[in-house]
Chain A
């Protein structure tokens, strides 16, 4: 090595300066590369967070729960039959026969009712209990009630609360009947339950 350096003394200094210059250039390149990477990464992650946040506001076309759920004709229970569970829309579809479910007597005349299955008390999923006897909650002779597994709130077929700590009857969803006998239930349009629940039922002849 020492011999090689001595053999070309004229070429060496220029090459050394050139190498140093290139090294220095590379250093700056590396620094700016890192700087760009950091900011790019930062922009990317912040952008992803902002996009995710804005995603919550995308209410243009929600599908499934939150949007309009179509219930085919075969899933609509017969009048007086047990309510059917529509998982996609998180609701119970009740087909009331006459004043059925109108246990407090507000003048219900029957029809279809989409009852949001979330308990208005503390949010548990309310199951349908077909064998529950109303005698235990003051309504002898009526069998089949919604009864919450968490705190025992009890609702009639029309979602009327007759027992337990729930502050109001079960919430209802906007429901409309299509020409072919299927239903469109707007699961994004939930109305707080009230004593008038049986009056909200939609007539159905499909």
Chain B
């Protein structure tokens, strides 16, 4: 390595003459400053003199249906449909970003760094990991939207009746099971903390299970299960193998979430086909 550096000396930049240079300060910066001032003052004067014709766009009582974030945030919005808001919006993205940042500390092997598909089973791990992420995410979305139960009934005439109605989506586990009354309000603090909301002092177990418990179990458990199965099969040998499978699965899941939120969510965030998707402006009487 060292000889390679010596063999190809880096060309040193030639020093220029002063008259070949363009002054940035004050010439350029001053022009930019004047332009910025002119635009600021013009916009300020315009906004003071004229009302923007926002009309119903600025009417807080009017909500378009569906209401969607910019497309690059629709993965998060899709996540928000299925679990506790704080979890989907803050905790899950933060923890995942930290985990991704920790990848190089977990895989400290220098060999084969920067090489695409550097390990023996890398291509297989990438393909299978992506497929698991793709199918798994779609499966979970279809289940939580109630579509799996709907199509099982609609296409195959299979119905669990009232007995298995609780399996139709995640919320029905809370609504359709005969939870005992005490489980809806479990006091876990030995004293009464008045500054806390009642909901924080008493654990509503079915609600916790549906909004936090099951989503956490799925988000942690399914990738862990995938890695474990691949390790048992002998596909995952090194830490890098595990990370390749994990990251491929993440990219697929992320893509599915973005795509679903963008193209498959209609009015009321109902799962629809992209060609059935239409947006209502939400103006009362014109829905």
Contacts and interface: CB of A to CB of B under 8 A. Distances in A.
A151 interface: yes
B101 interface: no
Interface stretch (B23-31, B104-112, B265-273): B265-273
A163 B147 CA distance: 13
A132 B268 contact: yes
B241 interface: no
Contacts of B269: 148-152, 164
B169 A122 contact: no
A124 B62 CA distance: 10
A199 interface: no
A124 B67 contact: yes
Interface size class of A (residues with CB under 8 A): 20 to 34
Nearest to A136: B146
Interface in B165-193: 165, 168-169, 171-172, 175-176
A149 B63 contact: yes
Given A162-B175, A163-B171, A87 B82 contact: no
A167 B211 contact: yes
Contact of A163 (B60, B65, B80, B169): B169
Interface string A151-175: 1101000000111110100000000
A138 B168 contact: yes
A164 B171 contact: yes
A176 interface: no
Interface size class of B (residues with CB under 8 A): 35 or more
Interface in A94-112: 104
Contact of B80 (A87, A151, A162): A151
Contacts of B165: 138
Given A87-B284, A138-B165, A167-B211, A125 B66 contact: no
Interface string A74-103: 000000000001010010000000000000
A136 B81 contact: no
B92 interface: no
B264 to A, nearest CB: 12
B171 A162 contact: yes
Given A136-B146, A164-B171, A165-B211, A154 B268 contact: yes
B152 interface: no
B66 A150 contact: yes
B61 interface: yes
Contact of B172 (A138, A147, A149): A138
8 contacts: A85-B284, A122-B85, A135-B150, A136-B146, A150-B63, A152-B269, A167-B84, A167-B199
Interface of B: 60-67, 77, 80-85, 88, 146, 150, 165, 168-169, 171-172, 175-176, 199, 207, 211, 267-270, 282, 284, 287
